Structure 1
C-alpha cells in the first residue's frame, strides 16, 4: 500500500543521496574551499541541509496550496 500526499512524496524523495558519505565529504570540502588546514564544516553542513530542504520544498508547497484551497472553499457560503 503506497502512501499518498505529503508524507508519501517526501518518503520518495532521494534524501539518502544527499547524506551519502561521499556527498557529505565533497560538500564540506567545497563549501569551505580546498584548504584542509582552514576547513570548517559549518558551511558544508548548512549546504547539506539546504540541499535536503530543496528536495522537499515542492511537495510542501503543493500541500500548503491544497490546504489553502480546501479552507478557502470551506469558508465560502
Structure 2
C-alpha cells in the first residue's frame, strides 16, 4: 500500500493546498512555473518503473538484449548518487 507522510508543517513549500503551479527555482531558474509531485522514497524507483512498464506490456516483443540493457540501465539509475 502507499503511505503518504503528513507534510502539513509550517513550511510554505509543503502545504497540502498548494495545487496551483509555483516557481521552482530549486530545479533551474529558467524553468516555467510548474506543479511537481516528487516521490519521498526513490530507492529502487527505476527498477520498479521498468518492472511496472514491462508488466503492462509496453515492451512486448522486445529482445532479451533489450531487457538486459534496460535492467542494467535501471540498476545504474537506482545506484546513482547526486553530487
**TM-score w.r.t. length of structure 2:** 0.34
In terms of fraction of residues, the more helix-rich structure is 1
Task: Considering Cα pairs closer than 8 Å and 6+ residues apart, tell me whether 1 or 2 has the greater RCO.
Answer: 1
Structure showing greater Rg: 1
